[in-house]
Amino acid sequence: MAWWATFIGGTLGFVFGGPLGAMVGAALGGNLDRGLKMGDQASLGNQERVQAAFFTTTFSVMGHVAKADGHVSAQEISSAKNIMTQMQLSAPQRKAAVKFFDQGKADDFPLIDVLRQFKKECHGRRNLIQMFIEIQIATALADGKIDPAEKRVLYTIGDVLGFAKSQIDHLFNIANGASPSANDTLTLTQAYKILGISKGSSEAEVKKAYRRLMSQHHPDKLVAKGLPDEMIKLATEKTQEIRKAYDLVKKSL
């Protein structure tokens, strides 16, 4: 929560310039006037700065992804609200998240510029950026399908952030595997998708995939890299999905 207090206070040398700074200024208004004027003097790498960049970019790009197919579905809005609920945002934080989401829906939203600044603010921390992409994929999948326009946007997001199309497809497979079946029971096929391996993989390959995914999604590691504390529940749920998939696959070997 410390990052939020600094965020809304417009503390000297903290708030960004560039497209993220413009979005923050539009969302939070006068409180940030002084910070926005001085933001370019700040040095990169501040933990609070990374957390604020993640928060701002997550919800604005979420709005852009939701609007990619021409309209925002009730399920996509519900998905965004669910993430806000999981994060246990305060009323002011939730209000800001909604404003960022709405900015992302605008026709003139500068997606490429926003992503480039986000990557710079995150110093290319791959696990943190992957968590961001996974949230965007979950938004696109909220209505149970991926529209071609949404997929194109997600490929663009991956390209700007350093993820090849094949890597985005892999994250799609993991996200699809995590989708509940009709009886809400994880199937063995879904478990293999979540782990990103094929049936017939050896026990050593299964264990290697599990350890890699757990390392990538470990909540404490992600928070240390700049994931806002409020998003720790999302990372925790992801590790629970991975562990559940691993246990199911291991029993089948």
Determine which helix (DSSP H) or strand (DSSP E) holds 75, and give its type and residue range.
helix 74-86
Tell me which of 4-13, 204-213, 214-223 is least confident. 4-13
Taking 80 as the threshold, does the pLDDT of residue 135 lie above it? Answer: yes
Sequence letter at residue 177: G
Total structural domains within the chain: 1
First to last CA, the chain: 44
With beta carbons less than 8 A apart as the criterion, state whether 37 and 10 touch. Answer: no
> What tens digit of pLDDT does each residue of 20-50 get?
888 888 877 654 444 334 343 344 347 778 8
Range with the largest mean pLDDT of 102-111, 168-177, 211-220: 102-111
Buried b (16+ CB within 10 A) or exposed e, 162-173: ebeeeebeebbe
Domain residue limits at 168: 2-252
Mean pLDDT of 65-81: 86
**How far, in Å, CA of 216 to CA of 126, rounded?**
9
Taking 50 as the threshold, does the pLDDT of residue 227 lie above it? Answer: yes
Q: What was the pLDDT predicted at 72?
A: 86
What percent of the chain lies above the pLDDT cut of 70? 83
